[in-house]
Structure 1
Amino acid sequence: MFKKIIVFLIVSLFVACGTNKPVVRTTKPTATKPVAKNTKRPISKPTETKKTETKTASNDKSNEPKTEVLEATSRVKVTTEIVLAYIDQYKDVAKKNMKNHGVPASIALAQAILESGAGTGDLSSQANNHFGIKCHKDWNGESVKHDDDEAQECFRKYDKVYDSYEDYAAFLKGRKWYQPLFKLEKNDYKGWAYGLKKAGYATDPNYPSKLIGLIERYQLNKYDAEVLGTEYVPSYKNKNVDAEEKYVSKEGKHEVIKGDTLYSLSKKYNISVDDLKRKNNLSENAISIGQLLEVK
């Protein structure tokens, strides 16, 4: 009987071991499944970060300082801050020049900004020449060579920038072809801009519009008002004056613009078409933009 009990216990032990093995095997796959699921979630986060960085970079570009190209005796790119600093440095010199010599401060500053690249061009750096004035026959001072209309032309050199402003005013007053400018109203910067081009100061056909653009963009004509003791009127509030017509009509001439015909000019200046043709030696009615016609 004792032997049977021992045999029964041994058999029961073997049965119990056999039933436990499958339980161990089934737990392994169950443990690995959550790990595989968890590793997929963080993948999208780096992509979101990159998009944010790209937007931030594009926003930074909008804060870059504005620049413009100034081209006269030198071609340079300057920022608004450079131009404003130049104006602040030389506005009093230009105002003094206007009081002493009659050249509008707005015109002097605009020409200096354009010709010298707001003080950053080669001539202004090497020779303190802020107006691009060449030597000419009456110059006995120092000079430098610079490429302009021709290679290695002679330009005046000054000890100080102030001397450049003084010589600029004397240069205009000492030449008869600039004399009509000094008969204009002191605040007529548009008349001066067109008059300088017509008198031959520059060969660039866009010279007047460049000067006017600088004056109105940086409100340089307020310095004219300060010298004259008058109220400053911003240019956008004073659009009723056609400066080019005002200037050429004083000289008895008209520069042809787009849309002009001999018939429209005859009505404008109260003169017959035949008289216009006779005054200007025209054999036909065709006229071209930029042509200068005698109208009085």
Structure 2
Amino acid sequence: MFKKIIALFTIIILVSCSASKPTAITTRKTAPVQQPKVVRTTKKPVYTKPTAKVTRTSTLNNTTEVIESTSKTLVTADLITGYVDQYKDIAMGNMKKYGIPASVILAQGILESGAGRGDLAVAANNHFGIKCHKDWLGESVRHDDDEAQECFRKYSEASESYRDHALFLAGKNRYATLFTYEKDDYKAWAKGLRAAGYATDPKYPDKLISYIERYNLHQYDCQVTGKEYKPFEKSMSAAASPKSNSNDPSLYQVEKGDTLYSISKKFNLLVDDLKQKNNLSDTTLSVGQKLIVK
């Protein structure tokens, strides 16, 4: 009996030792997961030519007109007046320093930049349509003009364009004759610019003179020279309000030789606007036909 007890006790001890033996745990090393490489690319900014803003106002005497500079721009009398107020001091300063009539500078600025609303004025602060030429080392932009994608000068601000315009005229031999004219003889300067090749448009002098006289720009020449200024008898409102040849002031009766273009110019309208007002599908007109012009 005693032997059985000892044998049983021995078995119990062996079983308990076997149960307390630690179990070996094997951990399988997992290969590190490689994260995909992220390649960052910097996208080059794409230059988008800004669209010139077209502002229409409905005030009674504020008519619209289209200025064909390096881009076709629709402006109002108020916009042109605002442009003159903004740059008249710079123009007079350039007249004092370089001898170019302030009236001519402002008229060229209005015409060449679309009163500051044209594509080149907006994109490059270029108010005088001056191209790069061989001696230009500054920034530039490309713009369709006489040829596709021509090189035009770019300025950081408009005042630089005004200064460069003065230096451009004063530094080129072909414009030397201009500086033999009186400082305030804007008509001679307007015609001289065309003759020297500044513009190819045969009506360029007339356009400059028209802006000078309609917006009384000659007064700034007189402020520099000290001469008495006499306003033009034909005011802007009178010049901008053509008379209708019909009993109804909103209608115009087509006369011999009239075209949609000539009528649109007479009433400061776009040809497309004139066609739309009168439901015209083409430009055909007949004498005696009445058109809505207001």
Length-normalised TM-score, structure 2? 0.59
Tell me how far 1:183 sits from its aligned partner. Answer: 0.8
Is 1:143 the counterpart of 2:140? The answer is yes
The aligned counterpart of 1:187 is: 184
Query: Percent same amino acid among aligned pairs?
Result: 62
* Distance of 1:110 and 1:65 partners within structure 2: 19
Cα-to-partner distance string for 1:167-188 (whole Å, 9 max, x where unaligned):
0000001111101101101110
* Distance of 2:232 and 2:178 partners within structure 1: 20
The structure-2 alpha-carbon separation of the partners of 1:106 and 1:160, relative to structure 1 and needing over 3 Å to count, comes to same
Secondary structure, counterpart of 1:63 in structure 2: coil
How many residue pairs match? The answer is 178
* Distance of 2:122 and 2:202 partners within structure 1: 26
The aligned counterpart of 1:228 is: 225
Is 1:90 the counterpart of 2:87? The answer is yes
Secondary structure, counterpart of 1:149 in structure 2: coil
Q: Structure 1: which 5+ runs fail to align?
A: 1-60, 238-296
Tell me how far 1:196 sits from its aligned partner. Answer: 0.2
Cα-to-partner distance string for 1:5-25 (whole Å, 9 max, x where unaligned):
xxxxxxxxxxxxxxxxxxxxx
The aligned counterpart of 2:121 is: 124
Tell me how far 1:72 sits from its aligned partner. Answer: 2.0
Task: Supply the AA of the counterpart residue of 1:98.
Answer: M
The aligned counterpart of 1:198 is: 195
Larger Rg: 1
* Distance of 1:64 and 1:105 partners within structure 2: 26
Secondary structure, counterpart of 1:154 in structure 2: strand
* Distance of 1:94 and 1:106 partners within structure 2: 8
Structure having the larger proportion of residues in helix: 1
Q: Structure 2: which 5+ runs fail to align?
A: 1-57, 235-294
Cα-to-partner distance string for 1:141-164 (whole Å, 9 max, x where unaligned):
000001111111000000110000
The structure-2 alpha-carbon separation of the partners of 1:104 and 1:62, relative to structure 1 and needing over 3 Å to count, comes to closer
* Distance of 1:179 and 1:173 partners within structure 2: 7
CA RMSD, Structure 1 to Structure 2 (Å): 1.7
The aligned counterpart of 2:98 is: 101
Tell me how far 1:63 sits from its aligned partner. Answer: 3.0
| Higher relative contact order (Cα pairs below 8 Å, separated by 6+ residues) | 2
Length-normalised TM-score, structure 1? 0.58
User: Would the aligned equivalents of 2:125 and 2:161 in 1 still touch at CA under 8 Å?
Assistant: yes
